[in-house]
Amino acid sequence: MLAAAVAVGAAAPASAAPTPRAVRTHFVAPVLPLTDELALEVVALTNEARVQAGCAPLALADQLVTTALRHSADMAETARMSHVGADGSSPRTRLAGLGVRPRLAAENVAAGAFTPRGLVDAWLASPGHRRNILDCDLDYVGVARADVAGGAYWTQALAGV
């Protein structure tokens, strides 16, 4: 808990695919323009931190935005912040359900009344979240939120091919 009514969950570390050098999946840029300016700001701030650390910026991928949207909605509906979905899914199995099997998958989640800067700063202050954000082997990102009374549930889905 960072402050009253604000929480950042443990980061789901980048997990390697169960088979060596799993099938490399082609990620696609979001088809529709993203209109969630707060989520886009989180991506920009994440990339700013990555560049400062010597990593390449992450590219937005439609499948990662979709999984982030769905997981944020799931957390909001169940009123619980977790890397495990209500259906028992993990970050990797949620991506597999969209036909995506990246070599690496990671996820950061949070719940509370965050500004984009506050959210990214909170993740960067947490060792596990920071490790995910600054993992130079990750290439793609999707960020989404589900608004609730008093804040939002946030998901940052990351993948490396």
Those residues of the chain that have pLDDT short of 50 are 1-10, 16-24, 31-33
Q: What is the pLDDT of residue 32?
A: 45
Placement of tokens 């088809």 in the chain: 31
Q: What pLDDT, on the 0 to 100 scale, is given for residue 20?
A: 31
End-to-end CA distance of the chain: 33
pLDDT, residue 110, reads: 97
CB 123 within 8 A of CB 108: yes
Burial (Cβ within 10 Å: 0-12, 13-18, ≥19) of residue 57 = middle
Residue environment code for 9-39, b if the CB has 16+ CB neighbours within 10 A, otherwise e = bebbbbebbeeeeeeebebeeeeeeeeeebb
pLDDT of residue 28: 58
> Residue 89: which of 110, 74, 108, 69 has the closest Cα?
74
